[in-house]
Structures are given as structure tokens and as C-alpha cells.
């Protein structure tokens, strides 16, 4: 899953990026509103962590502009916690609101919830055949046995599972697994798919020739 | 109750009204009473004169009007007699009624005291005698009153006297009734006046009470209520307007205070979030020594930022309360400015900004450290918000009774809509710049507080595209500089964030 963090306080931005990456997300960063909006319009993200007090363009203005075209879930992270601030934030199109200072565990849980909801799979646990994917603990269990996956492999499995029954193109996978800094080759996706098949069985992921991959519902 | 305006008004009103009514009543009574009695007296006297004319005076006496009075000695008249038809005139009888009780009467005495004639033989009328008049003339006619009887006495040159009297019982009764009438009417008028006055004062006081109630409700917890002007008129309406304006100002000041507190806590949250996130992250899994070190450094940086912010907030709070501890010593302002210019030299060089100065010797009384703080802030702003290769022009000089420090930069200038707010706390023109530079929006607010605590002014002159000039003006003769003792325990103020 790929997340965009828009925050102007450099130390905090660094902490957020690191904590999200260590939690298995691909993370892009931006430290001002206009730049953030530009990235949002150009790339696909699974969630956005947005600070309100931004230079260049106010966070709420960015949100309103974003909502004209995109439905990506947005979590507002800000020092302002007044009731009217919260209401305004949510009414401008945010999906969730967290005040600073925040707890790492809460931020991660809320992001997971947003991503689940936005994929239309509200249940934290996804079942595919005899495979159970626990998105909270980031574990995969097949036939009662825990399967060890690398972070990238898990990310791939989770992404396909959240889009269970839908066709996912290679580009989509690439965009959601790697952040903008990553200049890996796109056929790395095929490598990861092949590795997952080795661990979870050939039929776990279906190939649609010339189009992409899919996990059958 | 004695202090109540209504009661005081009422008392005075009652007193004045009562006095006026009493005065009027008394005057009226006496006027009428006098007139009435005069009428009676005139009639009686007239009748007495008529009778006196009927007393036969010997011819010899008629021709010697210079006879001495009272008549004594050998020239005593042999005797007088009355003409036969001597009786009281008919109109007198009519005027006084003919009942025996009230009927007028007369008695005539001779000089010696014997009764010449009396209208009724049983009258017990005392003889007035023959008192001495003015030399040679009989006394003028007199009036005397005996209980209910009023009598007119006329003296004749021959020593005789005529008394005509009548009962004034009816007159007295009438006048009595008049007294009661006047008292009654007066009391009624007083009552009506008091009642009217009471109602009037009630109507006048009511708006005052409603203003008082509204004001009390306002000063409680609800600052947005206002006095309802529709209820009041004229002078009280003006009072209500003035009070409403005051409450507007109060509400604004209060809102500003609330906003300031909220802004302050928000500013503090960000460095706190930095520390919190970095520590949580460092603890979430095993880290290398280098990672821990970096985390600690980041925390220290954030902690310093918070400290600077808290110091600034404390200074502003003290300035607000008027308790800014300022030293009060004469010092060379120019020297302080010069020192600040040297201190920002490296920063200026880094940004390729040239500093040029124009100094005159000028001395002021105040706190050199705080004033230095102000100058440093203005200089660093001028450098930071400048263009690459720009200039900063610093002047210190005396102008009239003031010492002036001006800092001009060749930067981008400040837009007209921002200018009125630029000295406000936490106001940032461009959020980007100041955050990146580590500012919190309090620098100029602090400068203004310090300058004003010295009795001076801090003003801005700027146009977009043409840079900005900040002018701090200090009175050479100190006005309102705090007299408080120097607080030795406070550390030297850190450079403004």
C-alpha cells in the first residue's frame, strides 16, 4: 500500500515516513500543499496523511480541491483539536482526524481501517480459500500454518486480497508497492508474484495474460 | 431606602409641592379673610358714622373745631341729644340679618359715660371710654372684636362715642369652612402630585433597572449579550449605546486572549509530536547506537524549540500584565545597535546580504538587553526576508525628543492587507518561510511589547516589491518605563525564535 504524507515540519515528516515504511507501506512525502496536490493528481495512493497548517496552500483548501476528482482516503493530522476544527476538517472531505502528538499504534490502526474501508473490505481478516490474511498483524496463515513472507511479498498478497475478485494490472501493483524514490524495474512485480506462488500455491494468484493478476474471490 | 434615587426624588417633590400648596393656601386664606372682614368693618363704620352724624352737637361747638380733646373743664357741652330718627341704616340691618342673635346693634355714650341711646336695652357693651387721640383731635374710628362680635367705634369731638357692632359668627364659620376646603383640596392635589411623581419616577427608573440587569447578565458568562436599545430612550439610550460598545471591546479582547492561548498550545504541540514520534519509533524495534543518537538529537532540538517558545510566551504574558521586568539605566543605543549588526554579520554573509549603517550618538534610558533583543529580531528578519544580494540599511539617530532606530530591507515587502496584522501574535504572512526558518510568529509581537514597555512605538512602512522599513522610536526622556527591580535570577534572554 502506498501512502502520501504531507507535513511541513521536517523532523515530524521524517518520523512519519520512517514509521510508515517500517510498517510495510511505500511512502511518498511532500512538505507543502501545492507540491502535495501535484503528487496526488499524478499518482495513485491508498491513503493520505495530511497536516492542516501547510505553507503555500492551506490543508483544507487542498482537501476540497482534491475531493473534486479523487476519493482516496485522507487522515488529517494536526495540532488543532478544537471542535470546530475537527468538524470543518471532516466536512471538507477528510475521512479521519488525529491530533498531535499521536501514538504510532493509533495512527497505523486508523490507516488500516481507512484502507480496508476504501477497498470495500471492512473485515480485518481476509479469507481466500484456505489462506487467512490478518491485515492487523500482517500475517498469513495457510491451513493452520503461518507462512513467512517478506514485507514486499506480504504487501503484494494484501493488495491483491483487498482487491479480491478484481483484475489488478501490473502497473497498479507496481504503483502501490513502490514509492516514488524506488527506481526498481517493473518486472520485479513478476518476481514477487512468482515467489508468492511458491509459498502459497500456484492457484493462489491467477494470471490474466496481457492484463494483470487477480486473486479469485 | 434613603439612598434610593426614587425616594430622594419623591421626598423633594413632596416637600416642594407641600410647601407650595401650603403657601398658596395660607395666602389665599388670609387674603379672603381680610377682604371679608374689611367689608364688614366698612359697613359697621359707615353705620357708626351715620349715627354719629345724628348726634346733636351744639352750634357753638360746630364753629370751634380747634377745641381741645378730650373736652374737659368749663367748656363741657351742656348735653347732646339725638335726633329722633337715629337708628341703624336699613342696609346694615339687611346685611347682617335681623334675628335677635345676630342683629347689629348700636350704643352711644355721652362724654361722661352715660348711655345716650342703645338699640337694645339689654346689651352689655363695654364703653370704649374717651382715650386721648392725637393733640386736639378725637381718635380715628377703631374696630374691635369681642368673641363673635365685631364693633366699630367712632369718636365725636364732643366726647361722645358711637359703637356699632354685629355678630360675625357666620363669617367666622364660613372662613372655617374655607380652611377645611383649602386643606382638603391641598391634600388632594398633594396626593395626586405625589402619585403622579411616583409613577413618573417608576417609568424613568425602569430602563435603568433593565440596563443594570442586562449588564449583570453580560458580565457573567455570556459576553455576547447586549442591552436592548429599543427599550430605552434619550439619555439612557446613549448610556446603553456606550455600554454596548464597551462590551463589544471586552468581547473582542476576551476572544483575542482565548485565541492566543489556543494558538500557543498548538504551537507547542508540534515539537512535542516530534519528540513523541521519534521516541516511539526508536523504541519500536532494536536500533543502532547511531539511530539512537540521532533520535536524541532530534528530541533535543525540539525541546529547545519548545523552550524558546515558552520563554517568548512568558515574556508576552508579563508584558500583558504590565509586569515586564525591565532595567532602567541610561545606555548608548547606538552601541547596542552596532553590536547587533556585528552579531548578524555571518548570517548576512551567508545570504549574500550587505549591511550598511548610519549612526549618530544617541542615549536612552531602558533595558539594553531587551532593546538588543528587538534590534536582533528586526535585523534577522530583514536578512531572512531579503532577496539574494540585497541590502539592509540600519540607522540610529536622534529626532526631536526621540531616539530612532530604523531597519530597512530590500526584500519583497509586506502586502497592505497583512500590514495591520503583522504585529499580532502568531501571525505569519507566509507560513512556509517562517516555519522553515524556525519562527513561530511571535517575534514582532515581542518586539512591539518591549518597545512599548519603554514608552516607545514600533511602526512599519512597506510596499510590495519595495522592501520594508521598521522604525522603533524611543523617548529620550523615559515615559512609563517600569520601576521594578532588576530580576537577577532570569538568564539573559535567548535570541528570538
Structure ipTM: 0.85
Q: Which residues of A touch B270 (CB under 8 A)?
A: 9, 12, 79, 100
CA pair distance A82, A91, nearest whole angstrom: 14
pLDDT on residue B483: 46
The residue ranking higher by pLDDT, B293 or A181, is B293
pLDDT on residue B484: 47
Nearest to B273 among A8, A12, A56 (CB): A12
Q: Do B435 and A32 touch (CB under 8 A)?
A: no
Q: Do A102 and B273 touch (CB under 8 A)?
A: yes
Residue A90 has pLDDT above 70, yes or no: yes
Q: Which of A5, A9, A54, A56 to probe the B interface (max B CBs under 10 A)?
A: A9
Any idea what DSSP says for residue B169?
H
CA pair distance B489, B492, nearest whole angstrom: 9
Are the C-beta atoms of A141 and A131 separated by less than 8 Å?
Answer: yes
CA pair distance B453, B484, nearest whole angstrom: 12
Q: How close, in Å, is residue A55 to chain B by CA atoms?
A: 4
pLDDT on residue B61: 61
pLDDT in tens, B125-154: 888 777 666 656 778 888 888 888 888 988
Average pLDDT over residues B287-315: 92
Q: Which residues of B touch A60 (CB under 8 A)?
A: none
- Extended strands (E) in chain A: 2-6, 26-30, 47-51, 74-78, 96-99, 125-128, 131-134, 139-142, 145-147, 168-169, 206-208, 212-214
pLDDT in tens, B329-350: 899 999 999 999 999 989 888 8
pLDDT in tens, B82-118: 665 667 677 666 666 556 666 788 888 877 777 777 7
pLDDT in tens, A112-135: 999 989 888 888 888 888 889 998
Any idea what DSSP says for residue B82?
B
Are the C-beta atoms of B345 and B371 separated by less than 8 Å?
Answer: no
pLDDT on residue B489: 47
Residue A44 has pLDDT above 90, yes or no: no
CA pair distance B221, A213, nearest whole angstrom: 65
CA pair distance A167, B230, nearest whole angstrom: 72
pLDDT band at B217 (very low <50, low <70, confident <90, very high): confident
CA pair distance A44, A3, nearest whole angstrom: 9
Q: Which residues of B touch A79 (CB under 8 A)?
A: 266-267, 269-270, 273
Q: Which residues of A touch B272 (CB under 8 A)?
A: 100-101
- DSSP states of B292-315 as a string? HHHHHHHHHHHHHHHHHHHHHHHH
Any idea what DSSP says for residue B387?
P
- Number of cross-chain residue pairs from A and B with Cβ atoms under 8 Å apart: 70
- Extended strands (E) in B94-223: 105-109, 115-118, 142-146, 149-155, 161-167
Q: What is the pLDDT of chain B when averaged over all its residues?
A: 81
Helix, strand and coil percent figures for chain B, each rounded to 5? 50, 15, 35
The residue ranking higher by pLDDT, A204 or A185, is A204
CA pair distance A162, B181, nearest whole angstrom: 110
Which residues make Cβ contacts (< 8 Å) with residue B73, sequence separation at least 6?
none
Q: Measure CA B474 to chain center.
A: 38
* Percent of the residues in chain B that have a pLDDT greater than 70, as a whole number: 81
Cell of B45: 363704620
Any idea what DSSP says for residue B437?
T
Q: Which residues of A touch B (CB under 8 A)?
A: 8-9, 11-12, 14-16, 18-19, 22, 32, 53-56, 79-80, 82, 99-104
pLDDT in tens, B442-462: 889 999 999 998 989 999 998
Residue B488 has pLDDT above 50, yes or no: no
Q: Do B431 and A15 touch (CB under 8 A)?
A: no
Nearest to B435 among A55, A80, A100 (CB): A55
- A65-69, B274-278, B481-485, range with the lowest pLDDT: B481-485
Nearest to B431 among A22, A53, A101 (CB): A53
Q: Do A55 and B432 touch (CB under 8 A)?
A: yes
pLDDT on residue B385: 84
As to burial, measured by CB atoms within 10 angstroms (0-12 exposed, 13-18 middle, 19+ buried), residue B94 is exposed
Q: Which residues of A touch B276 (CB under 8 A)?
A: 101-103
Q: Do A11 and B272 touch (CB under 8 A)?
A: no
pLDDT on residue A114: 93
Amino acid at each position: 500500500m502506498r501512502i502520501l504524507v504531507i507535513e511541513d515540519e521536517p523532523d515530524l515528516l521524517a518520523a512519519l515516513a520512517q514509521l510508515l515504511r517500517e510498517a510495510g507501506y511505500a511512502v511518498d512525502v511532500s512538505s507543502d500543499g501545492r507540491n502535495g496536490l501535484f503528487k496526488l493528481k499524478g499518482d495513485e495512493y491508498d491513503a493520505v496523511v495530511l497536516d492542516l497548517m501547510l505553507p503555500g496552500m492551506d490543508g483544507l483548501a487542498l482537501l476540497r480541491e482534491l475531493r473534486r476528482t479523487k476519493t482516496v482516503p485522507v487522515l488529517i493530522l494536526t495540532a488543532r483539536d478544537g471542535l470546530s476544527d475537527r468538524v470543518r476538517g471532516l466536512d471538507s472531505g477528510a475521512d479521519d482526524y488525529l491530533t498531535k502528538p499521536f501514538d504510532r499504534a493509533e495512527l497505523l490502526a486508523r490507516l488500516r481501517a481507512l484502507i480496508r474501508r476504501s477497498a470495500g473490505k471492512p473485515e480485518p481478516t481476509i479469507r481466500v480459500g484456505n489462506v487467512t490474511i490478518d491485515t492487523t498483524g500482517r500475517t498469513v496463515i495457510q491451513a493452520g500454518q503461518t507462512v513467512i513472507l517478506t514485507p514486499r511479498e506480504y504487501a503484494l498478497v494484501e493488495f491483491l486480497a483487498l482487491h479480491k475478485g478484481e483484475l489488478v494490472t501490473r502497473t497498479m501493483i507496481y504503483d502501490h508497492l513502490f514509492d516514488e524514490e524506488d527506481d526498481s524495474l517493473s518486472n520485479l512485480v513478476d518476481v514477487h508474484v512468482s515467489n508468492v506462488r511458491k509459498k502459497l500455491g500456484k492457484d493462489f494468484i491467477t494470471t490474466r495474460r496481457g492484463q494483470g493478476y487477480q486473486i479469485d474471490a | 431606602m434613603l439612598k434610593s434615587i426614587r425616594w430622594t426624588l419623591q421626598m423633594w417633590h413632596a416637600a416642594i409641592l407641600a410647601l407650595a400648596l401650603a403657601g398658596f393656601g395660607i395666602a389665599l386664606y388670609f387674603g379672603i379673610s381680610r377682604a371679608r372682614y374689611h367689608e364688614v368693618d366698612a359697613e359697621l363704620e359707615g353705620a357708626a358714622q351715620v349715627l354719629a352724624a345724628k348726634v346733636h352737637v351744639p352750634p357753638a361747638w360746630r364753629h370751634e373745631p380747634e377745641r381741645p380733646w378730650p373736652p374737659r373743664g368749663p367748656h363741657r357741652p351742656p348735653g347732646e341729644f339725638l335726633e329722633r330718627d337715629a337708628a341703624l341704616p336699613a342696609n346694615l340691618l339687611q346685611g347682617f340679618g335681623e334675628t335677635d342673635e345676630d342683629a347689629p346693634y348700636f350704643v352711644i355714650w355721652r362724654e361722661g359715660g352715660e348711655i345716650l341711646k342703645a338699640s337694645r336695652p339689654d346689651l352689655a357693651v363695654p364703653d370704649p371710654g374717651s382715650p386721648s387721640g392725637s393733640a386736639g383731635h378725637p381718635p380715628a374710628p377703631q374696630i374691635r372684636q369681642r368673641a363673635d362680635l365685631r364693633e366699630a367705634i367712632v369718636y365725636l369731638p364732643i366726647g361722645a362715642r358711637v359703637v356699632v357692632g354685629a355678630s360675625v359668627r357666620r363669617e367666622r364659620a364660613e372662613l372655617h369652612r374655607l380652611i377645611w376646603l383649602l386643606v382638603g383640596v391641598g391634600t388632594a392635589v398633594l396626593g395626586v402630585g405625589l402619585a403622579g411623581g411616583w409613577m413618573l419616577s417608576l417609568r424613568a427608573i425602569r430602563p435603568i433597572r433593565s440596563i443594570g440587569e442586562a449588564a449583570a447578565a453580560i458580565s457573567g458568562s455570556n459576553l455576547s449579550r447586549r442591552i436592548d436599545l429599543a427599550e430605552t430612550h434619550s439619555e439612557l439610550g446613549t448610556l446603553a449605546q456606550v455600554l454596548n460598545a464597551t462590551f463589544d471591546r471586552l468581547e473582542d479582547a476576551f476572544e483575542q486572549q482565548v485565541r492566543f492561548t489556543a494558538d500557543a498550545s498548538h504551537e507547542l504541540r508540534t515539537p512535542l509530536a516530534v519528540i513523541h514520534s521519534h521516541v516511539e519509533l526508536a523504541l519500536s524495534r532494536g536500533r543502532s547506537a547511531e539511530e539512537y543518537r540521532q533520535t536524541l538529537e532530534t528530541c533535543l532540538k525540539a525541546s529547545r524549540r519548545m523552550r524558546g517558545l515558552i520563554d517568548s510566551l512568558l515574556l508576552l504574558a508579563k508584558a500583558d500584565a504590565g509586569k515586564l521586568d525591565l532595567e532602567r539605566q541610561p545606555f548608548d543605543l547606538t552601541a547596542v545597535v552596532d553590536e547587533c549588526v556585528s552579531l548578524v554579520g555571518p548570517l548576512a554573509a551567508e545570504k549574500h546580504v550587505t549591511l550598511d549603517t548610519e549612526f549618530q550618538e544617541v542615549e536612552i534610558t531602558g533595558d539594553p538587553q531587551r532593546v538588543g533583543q528587538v534590534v536582533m529580531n528586526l535585523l534577522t528578519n530583514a536578512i531572512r526576508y531579503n532577496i539574494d544580494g540585497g541590502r539592509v540599511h540600519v540607522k540610529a539617530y536622534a529626532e526631536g525628543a526621540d531616539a530612532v532606530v530604523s531597519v530597512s530591507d530590500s526584500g519583497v515587502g509586506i502586502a497592505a492587507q497583512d500590514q495591520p496584522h503583522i504585529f499580532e501574535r502568531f501571525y505569519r504572512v507566509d507560513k512556509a518561510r517562517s516555519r522553515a526558518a524556525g519562527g513561530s510568529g511571535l517575534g514582532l509581537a515581542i518586539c512591539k511589547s518591549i518597545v512599548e514597555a519603554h514608552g516607545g512605538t514600533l511602526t512599519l512602512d512597506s510596499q510590495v516589491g519595495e522592501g520594508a522599513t521598521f522604525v522603533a522610536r524611543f523617548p529620550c526622556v523615559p515615559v512609563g518605563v517600569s520601576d521594578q527591580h532588576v530580576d537577577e535570577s532570569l538568564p539573559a534572554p535567548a535570541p528570538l525564535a
